[in-house]
């Protein structure tokens, strides 16, 4: 049975830790990321997009639904409204009909109309490439901003979604639950250049093996470094049945 490494717990401090994380924790965290990278060599954003505007919109739409559903809607949505200017002037009923399959269609339509209008009014219809600017846009928080920065602008960022938060706590990288504190605590363990791919590796693992209710511990490639080993079935055969070959995309 894989044995959990004995390491000092991650610092519970927030954006500016009083002391740097322990060397053993840094080494273990980076080893886990390397193995996840080898396990998921194709890890990437599972939302389809052609440009920063599309990625911004589909990321906003992905809240409380699956990437697969958003990807199905995307061609129709951007076929009708390819630019922020076009979307800002969209007929509300027509836009609601397109995003309807994603749930919460009225709220999501309102978000898209306000977001597109803000891009036109504040940024001449261009998606800004700075975190401080992105988070001022309607419906855009740090998670969405980091997705856009990392995948559309090649600016390193950590995407703290539900999968990422769950796994980094299971891995013992941090005990924080606030997404911003998680982002800073985990960021301190890795070089900035690795942040975007780290996010993909962890999220892919969370979608495929390290599930919320029943993780497939017996099929986990990083089980030997995981303090939470045993939360799910450890028998390889039983665990294998839980593995998804694709995420909830």
Mind listing the pLDDT tens digit for each residue in 69-95? 999 999 999 999 999 999 999 999 999
What is the per-residue pLDDT for 6?
35
Q: Angle at Cα 160 formed by Cα 142 and Cα 32, nearest 5°?
A: 145
Whether pLDDT at 3 is above 50: no
Q: Which residues are catalytic?
A: 143, 161
- % pLDDT > 70, the chain: 90
Choose among 207, 205, 196: nearest CA to 149.
196
Q: What's the mean pLDDT when you consider all of the chain?
A: 92
Using pLDDT thresholds of 50, 70 and 90, give the confidence band for residue 153: very high
Spatial separation of the C-alpha atoms in residues 151 and 206, rounded to whole Å: 19
Whether pLDDT at 7 is above 50: no
What is the per-residue pLDDT for 36?
98
Model pLDDT for residues 176-219, shown as the tens digit of each residue? 999 999 999 999 999 999 999 999 999 999 999 999 999 999 99
Spatial separation of the C-alpha atoms in residues 121 and 126, rounded to whole Å: 10
Choose among 154, 249, 197: nearest CA to 40.
197
- Are the C-beta atoms of 137 and 59 separated by less than 8 Å? no
What is the per-residue pLDDT for 247?
56
- Are the C-beta atoms of 161 and 143 separated by less than 8 Å? yes
Whether pLDDT at 142 is above 50: yes
What is the per-residue pLDDT for 19?
57
């Amino acid at each position: 049975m894989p044995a959990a490494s004995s390491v000092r717990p991650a610092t519970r401090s927030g954006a500016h830790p009083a002391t740097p994380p322990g060397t053993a924790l840094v080494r273990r965290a980076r080893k886990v990321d390397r193995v996840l990278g080898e396990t998921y060599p194709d890890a990437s954003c599972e939302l389809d997009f052609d440009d920063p505007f599309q990625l911004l919109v589909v990321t906003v739409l992905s809240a409380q639904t699956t990437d697969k559903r958003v990807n199905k809607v995307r061609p129709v949505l951007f076929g009708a409204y390819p630019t922020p200017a076009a979307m800002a002037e969209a007929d509300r009923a027509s836009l609601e009909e397109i995003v309807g399959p994603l749930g919460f269609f009225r709220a999501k339509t309102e978000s898209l109309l306000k977001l597109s209008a803000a891009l036109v009014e504040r940024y001449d219809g261009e998606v800004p490439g700075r975190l401080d600017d992105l988070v001022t846009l309607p419906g855009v928080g740090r998670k969405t901003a980091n997705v856009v920065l990392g995948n559309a602008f090649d600016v390193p960022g950590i995407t703290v979604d539900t999968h990422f938060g769950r796994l980094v706590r299971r891995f013992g990288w941090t005990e924080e639950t606030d997404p911003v504190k998680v982002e800073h605590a985990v960021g301190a363990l890795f070089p900035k250049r690795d942040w975007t791919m780290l996010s993909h590796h962890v999220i892919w693992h969370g979608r495929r093996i390290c599930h919320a209710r029943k993780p497939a511990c017996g099929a986990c490639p990083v089980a030997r470094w995981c303090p939470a080993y045993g939360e799910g079935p450890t028998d390889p055969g039983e665990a294998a049945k839980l593995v998804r070959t694709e995420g909830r995309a």
